[in-house]
Amino acid sequence: MARKGETKHSGVSKFLLGLREKTQNPPEEFPLLPLRELVLFPNTVIPVYITYKIGIDAVNEALKRDNRLFAACLKNDGPAGGRVTPESYRGETWPGGTVVRIIQNLKLPDNTFRVVMQGEYRGAIREKTVLDEYSLVKVEPVKIVNLANPPAPSEAALMRTVQKSFAQYAELSKKIGVDVITAVEKTENPERLANLIGNAIAVKAEKKVELLGIAATEDRLNAILETLSLENEIFGIQKNISGKVKSRMEKNQREYILHEQIREINKELGKNEGEDEFADLEKAIEDKNPPDEVLARAHKEISRLRKLQPLSPEAGVLRGYLEWITDLPWSDYSEDSLDLAEAEKILDEDHFDMRKAKERILEFIAVRQLTEKSGIKGPILCFVGPPGTGKTSLGKSVARALGRQFVRVSLGGVRDEAEIRGHRKTYVGALPGKIIQSMRKSGTVNPVFLLDEIDKLSSDFRGDPASALLEVLDPEQNSTFTDHYMEVPYDLSRVLFITTANSLHTIPYPLLDRMEIIEVPGYGENEKLAIAKQFLVPKELAENGLAEANIVFKDEAIREIIRHYTMESGVRSLEREIARCVRRIARGAVKKEYGKESGKPVSSFKKTVQPAALEKLLGRHRYKNDVVFKEARIGVTYGLAWTETGGTMLPVETIAFPGNGDLIITGNLGDVMKESARIALSYLRSAACRYAFLVSDIGKTDFHIHVPEGAIPKDGPSAGITLAASLLSTLCQTAAKAGTAMTGELTLTGRILPIGGLKEKLLAAIRNGMEQILLPEDNREDWAELDKEVRDALTVHFVENADEAFAILFDRGIHRKKAKKRMHTK
């Protein structure tokens, strides 16, 4: 150890200290023998193989002189890459070394030497002459400051301590020869003692050069004692580590033992930083800049993981958990595109119409532009509409318009609450829920997140996924969303959530209350025509290899496909039918060698799709109009119904015959619709004084109400006025006006209440050739928001009660005349 008040010097500095007092003898000149990782000491004999040219030339020169040369260790370990070349021996050596005498040499057949050298004295290079084959150096001996003779008690104690420490070192290392150990024990010369030990111990060459260069023998022995003590301590730690590891592990787990040894060695030496995989994991988590709570939890789990065996099951669980924390985005944002004009252009390019939905997205971008990064909460939008109207693809367009990442999660058929909130880590194969998984996939904290088919969620004994979504879709709560697997809050407030649904009836009210409903209504015929011309036809031509061909779909042909080959509110079936046409055309194009290297121009293939050609391309008409009679019939009226696939006509038929006053209802009707029929009959019985019934006694007459297409379930209150009109037509034996349809809920006192799904119902009326529509007065505002195309195609009457509706549906002859007697039928 360095004495108090002293500083620790390098090997070069020690040499300079040893040479402050020059000897009177002039420096001697010797050939230089550069050695790699080998330091020779005086009073020692060592065999060396000389296989490199500069060393061979130096030995040859020494043999010509007095068999003496100067052995010095090279400073560098070798060139980059570790490959040793002959030129690398011409590198710089340490200034200190040993003058050695060749006491035996053997020249081998390949011109290399095996020499036995004996160290004579220590010296330092004062001057160096570089020749072509070797170098000559002038060496000045180190002036040795030896111990007193006889040594003082303290000096004798120092020598004995060094000898004892070396004996312990030899016992621990098991690599020291018996003759060396004996020589060290018997020597009484302190300088010889230092040389023997310095040559025997296995330390780095730089350390040996340092020990070689210390002039004062006492200082030299102290340095050797410090080195031996450190090496003995390291041997003791290694032995202790090996004992601990061996007692914990089985003999065949060699890989585990190596890992444990490395870990314990790093722990004892304090070299964990930069060398520990756990430190790398900690750094990766810190680079993600998570909240303090998450960071503290991660440090705690890493600390637990350090104490576990790598092959234990719990270690695998913790490692997986920490990897999830590392992979999640905690502070990575994507910059929003705030160009309103560009966003509007993108939305219009991808989708036709959808005015309300597009306006809401543009409003969000405008507010975002005004608030910049002030922490605006992401809205929860719910697109509701029939299938095939572009709700899902609209979510992708929103992400493209905003410049955000897009992730989609399908909720159809999800029954397990853990699919949303994840599983506890204690379960085998546990994972986070779909929300956290999708956030990792997005890589940012502010993606556009589409929850598709939210109305198709269901529940069973595993929990209610809809309830688990309450926290996700609440802007006031989702900033601290906690997944069961992660167990730490995750901020979802920056996410733009978009949900889609075909119907709102199956969505629980608490969940529905958290969303902003945007209706995406079905398309009319003209809208479908525009969509087909702008989007569907070019898309199918490109996908089927006919983008460069001259193929034209006439408007009349597309209208024919819409009317007779599809029956939907969206355009999915229309796209399939157009694709079928294009594939048939592609087959004909191949027969005419279109696309082959025949020298024909690309646009040489021409085809115009006319209505007359559709039967050949698509077959006979697939759909006809609903069960609608063109002429007026007694007891037959037409209602309008809404389904998840769009609107449809709802014909109602009623007949009367003598009986016991029973009401027979058929047509696979639901409870609500059956109640509407009973309400209609009760209302008409209460209004018998105002209408000229031709039925003598309603109480002794049975009525049979039937709604055709009995295989299809039907339910809902909006058919109330239709059922009442059908009953009144039967009671008065008067047909309702032809080409008239109606919708509205009827109350027991004759009021007509508003209905939903107005556009889909009116589109169904247009498809079936209806001319006049009766709507509840409260739906007037909804009518005003409809497209001009729909409003121009129909004549609408708004009615507040049943009497107003009956006045429009029937002639005045159905009303009772006070001057005439009531007519009876038998």
What is the mean pLDDT of the segment spanning 779-800?
Answer: 89
Could you give the CA distance from residue 648 to residue 766 in angstroms, rounded to a whole number? Answer: 10
What is the mean pLDDT of the segment spanning 681-703?
Answer: 86
Token digits of residue 528: 């479908």
pLDDT, the chain, mean: 83
Look at residue 820 in the predicted model and tell me its pLDDT.
45
What is the mean pLDDT of the segment spanning 743-753?
Answer: 94
Could you give the CA distance from residue 794 to residue 766 in angstroms, rounded to a whole number? Answer: 7
Using 50, 70 and 90 to split pLDDT, how confident is the model at 803?
very high
What is the mean pLDDT of the segment spanning 589-598?
Answer: 72
Using 50, 70 and 90 to split pLDDT, how confident is the model at 818?
low
CA angle 706, 569, 529 (to 5 degrees): 130
* pLDDT of 788 higher than 50: yes
What is the mean pLDDT of the segment spanning 231-249?
Answer: 77
Closest CA to 193 of 201, 183, 208, 205: 183
Look at residue 524 in the predicted model and tell me its pLDDT.
78
* pLDDT of 8 higher than 60: no
Could you give the CA distance from residue 179 to residue 523 in angstroms, rounded to a whole number? Answer: 103
Question: What string of DSSP letters covers 345-409?
Answer: HHHHHH-S--HHHHHHHHHHHHHHHHHTTS-PPPPEEEEE--TTSSHHHHHHHHHHHHT--EEEE
Look at residue 821 in the predicted model and tell me its pLDDT.
44
Question: What string of DSSP letters covers 499-550?
Answer: EEES-STTS-HHHHTTSEEEE-PPP-HHHHHHHIIIIIHHHHHHHTT-TTSE
Could you give the CA distance from residue 30 to residue 100 in angstroms, rounded to a whole number? Answer: 10
Could you give the CA distance from residue 512 to residue 509 in angstroms, rounded to a whole number? Answer: 5
Look at residue 817 in the predicted model and tell me its pLDDT.
67
Would you call 69 helix, strand, or coil by DSSP?
A: strand
Of these ranges, 77-86, 224-233, 714-723, the one predicted with the greatest mean pLDDT is 714-723
Q: Which of 77-86, 161-170, 486-495, 571-580 has the lowest mean pLDDT?
A: 77-86
Residue 769: which region, alpha, beta or left (left: phi > 0; alpha: psi -120 to 50)?
Answer: left
* pLDDT of 112 higher than 90: no
Q: Strand 489-490 to strand 481-482: parallel, antiparallel, or no bridges (unpaired)?
A: antiparallel
Judge whether 55 and 33 are in contact, CB under 8 Å.
yes
Could you give the CA distance from residue 209 to residue 200 in angstroms, rounded to a whole number? Answer: 13
Tell me the pLDDT tens digit for each residue of 12-28: 444 444 444 434 456 78
Judge whether 383 and 518 are in contact, CB under 8 Å.
yes
Instruction: Say if residue 150 is preceded by a cis peptide, omega within 30 of 0.
Output: yes
Look at residue 9 in the predicted model and tell me its pLDDT.
42
Closest CA to 73 of 96, 57, 54: 96
Spatial CB neighbours of 724, under 8 Å, sequence gap ≥ 6: 680, 683, 684, 746, 802
Judge whether 637 and 729 are in contact, CB under 8 Å.
yes
Look at residue 246 in the predicted model and tell me its pLDDT.
67
Q: Give the residue with greater pLDDT, 555 vs 267.
A: 555
Using 50, 70 and 90 to split pLDDT, how confident is the model at 763?
confident
Look at residue 17 in the predicted model and tell me its pLDDT.
42
Type of residue found at 253: Q
Give residue 605's Cα distance to chain centre: 46
Token digits of residue 701: 């007459």
What does the buried/exposed string (b/e) look like for 161-182 if buried means 16 or more CB atoms within 10 Å of the residue's CB? ebbebbebbbebeeebeeebbe
* pLDDT of 824 higher than 50: no
Look at residue 12 in the predicted model and tell me its pLDDT.
43
- Percent of the chain at pLDDT above 70? 89
Look at residue 520 in the predicted model and tell me its pLDDT.
85
Tell me the pLDDT tens digit for each residue of 290-312: 888 999 998 888 888 887 777 77
Active site residues: 718, 761
Token digits of residue 63: 């043999």
Residue 453: which region, alpha, beta or left (left: phi > 0; alpha: psi -120 to 50)?
Answer: left
Could you give the CA distance from residue 724 to residue 245 in angstroms, rounded to a whole number? Answer: 90
What are the two backbone dihedrals, phi and then psi, of residue 456, each rounded to the nearest 5 degrees?
-95, 10
* pLDDT of 32 higher than 60: yes
Look at residue 24 in the predicted model and tell me its pLDDT.
44
Closest CA to 764 of 653, 673, 651, 642: 642
What does DSSP assign to residue 636? E
Look at residue 23 in the predicted model and tell me its pLDDT.
41
Spatial CB neighbours of 32, under 8 Å, sequence gap ≥ 6: 58, 69, 70, 72, 93, 125, 128, 134, 135, 136, 137
CA angle 494, 499, 505 (to 5 degrees): 140
3-class SS shares of the chain: helix, strand, coil, % to 5: 45, 20, 35
Tell me the pLDDT tens digit for each residue of 122-163: 888 888 888 888 888 888 888 887 777 777 888 888 888 988
Q: Give the residue with greater pLDDT, 490 vs 12.
A: 490
Could you give the CA distance from residue 397 to residue 409 in angstroms, rounded to a whole number? Answer: 16
Look at residue 588 in the predicted model and tell me its pLDDT.
85
Tell me the pLDDT tens digit for each residue of 257-286: 776 777 777 677 665 543 467 788 888 888
What is the mean pLDDT of the segment spanning 356-374?
Answer: 80
Rounded-to-10 torsion of CA 151, 154, 158, 159: 20
Look at residue 284 in the predicted model and tell me its pLDDT.
86
Look at residue 221 in the predicted model and tell me its pLDDT.
87
Tell me the pLDDT tens digit for each residue of 492-508: 988 999 999 988 888 88
Look at residue 826 in the predicted model and tell me its pLDDT.
36
In angstroms and rounded to an integer, the radius of gyration of the C-alpha atoms of the chain is 49
Tell me the pLDDT tens digit for each residue of 313-325: 888 888 888 989 9
Give me the residue label for tokens 């594939």. Answer: 583
Q: Which of 166-180, 236-250, 551-565, 578-592 has the lowest mean pLDDT?
A: 236-250
Q: Give the count of beta carbons closer than 10 Å to the beta carbon of residue 199.
A: 21
Would you call 47 helix, strand, or coil by DSSP?
A: strand
**Stretch (H or E) spanning 433:** none
